[in-house]
Chain A
Amino acid sequence: MKTSILTFTLSIFICVAARAELKWEQSTIDLHPAVGDKTAVAHFKYQNTGTTPVHFKSVRASCGCTTTQSQKEVVNPGEKGEVVATFNIGDRTGQQMKTVTVQTDDPNPSQATTVLTLKATIPQALEIKPTFVYWQTGEEPKPKKISIKASKDFPAKSISVKSNSQNFESKVEPSKTSGEWTIEVTPKDTSHPMGTALLVQSDYPKEAPKSFYVNASITAPPGAPPALRPNVPGAPPTKTGTPAAIPSPAADR
């Protein structure tokens, strides 16, 4: 009887003592990439402070724009390591929050799943408002204005605008305030649908000036087939599920 009580007590003690615990240095990391950076990388460091090994079951990012890498599959007691999350910035701007869910074989359900958060503040080089101006078919071709403002991290002194379309005229007016401009876009003809992307180029950074786009369209009347594909310099072919929906070739040359 005494032996079984002792065995029971000992097994309880061993069970309690033999625990796996992954301690994370930080579960949220704030990143501030610079203008032009392609990626933002977060290093989530951990240590196994328990007495048994911890196995990673999965490390999953919340979106396809974030890739994750865990250096090892098993973390032995006392061992340290990190999960690296690489966020591909693409054409995103502003506040971005992505999560990485880590699952381990920890028997304690509250410890088995950890959500790591990557917060990135992506600077907007030029604030363009609006990025799209349009006229309805037959509308009077009055000029429309687009305001452009450079952020403080993007010290552009001047911008230029180019269009492949002869139907849209554009001119840049610098504002009284440094780093601010107004682009005035005027169509020559609004009798039929067409579109163009205007290439806005800054003089910064000097080695590789950055390009931005604003869009101008003469929209199709209700019920009419979709407008025509704009002529965008350097852009890949249009991606759509129904090629027939887009009349070829580019509308407006």
Chain B
Amino acid sequence: MKLRAVREGLLLVALAFLPAIGEGIYFRDKISWQSSIPASELVTVDQARAWGDSAIWVDARPDEEFARDHVPGAFSLNEDHWNELLPQFLPNWSPGKKVIVYCSAESCNAARDVAKRLRDEAQLTEVFVLQGGWEGWVKKNR
């Protein structure tokens, strides 16, 4: 009796897996392989503002969007012109300064990519991505 219950239970579990596996195969190209940003690397607009002068803002959006508007004092640093913009940004950094990188919105990837390059290539520590990006900043400030 017990064995039958276990067998049936296992069969139900296996059946439950079937549609999931099928969906995984069918939508394999649509699965997002981009890892999400760990919470320790994110900062909210309020937290970032509280850091005041001990933080430096980096705008990872394209040049035109930066030219239209940006966080006051932010430096433009995007991957379109990384080699030109990085040398302009770095002299303004000093040890102990936090770096806050933002792009257009929560869903954009540019801030994460720029933050990663600052950590990996320039070996800066304390580099954060702004939650909600530029849209989030505008909502809180206007």
State how many residues of chain B have any CB contact under 8 Å with chain A. 45
Query: Which chain B residues numbered 100 to 132 have a C-beta less than 8 Å away from chain A?
Result: 108-110, 113, 121-124
Contact pick for A64, options B65, B70, B73, B122, CB 8 Å: B65
Task: Kindly count the residue-residue contacts between A and B in the assembled complex, taking CB atoms under 8 Å apart.
Answer: 130
- What is the interface of chain B, defined by CB distance below 8 A to chain A? 29-30, 33-34, 53, 57, 61-66, 70-76, 78-88, 90-96, 108-110, 113, 121-124
**A65-B34 in contact given A90-B81, A131-B86 (Cβ < 8 Å):** no
Contact pick for A90, options B71, B80, B87, CB 8 Å: B80
Q: How far is the CB of B113 from chain A (nearest CB, A)?
A: 8
- Measured between beta carbons, the chain A residues less than 8 angstroms from B29 are 27-28, 117
8 CB contacts below 8 A, A to B, read: A63-B109, A90-B80, A132-B86, A213-B87, A230-B87, A230-B91, A241-B57, A241-B74
State how many residues of chain A have any CB contact under 8 Å with chain B. 53
Contact pick for A228, options B76, B91, B93, B121, CB 8 Å: B91
Q: How far is the CB of B78 from chain A (nearest CB, A)?
A: 8
- What is the interface of chain A, defined by CB distance below 8 A to chain B? 27-28, 62-65, 88, 90-92, 97, 115, 117, 128-132, 134, 136, 193-197, 211-213, 215, 217, 219-224, 226-230, 232, 234-236, 238-242, 245-246, 251
Q: How far is the CB of B68 from chain A (nearest CB, A)?
A: 12
Q: How far is the CB of A163 from chain B (nearest CB, A)?
A: 11
Q: How far is the CB of A39 from chain B (nearest CB, A)?
A: 12
- Measured between beta carbons, the chain B residues less than 8 angstroms from A229 are 88, 91
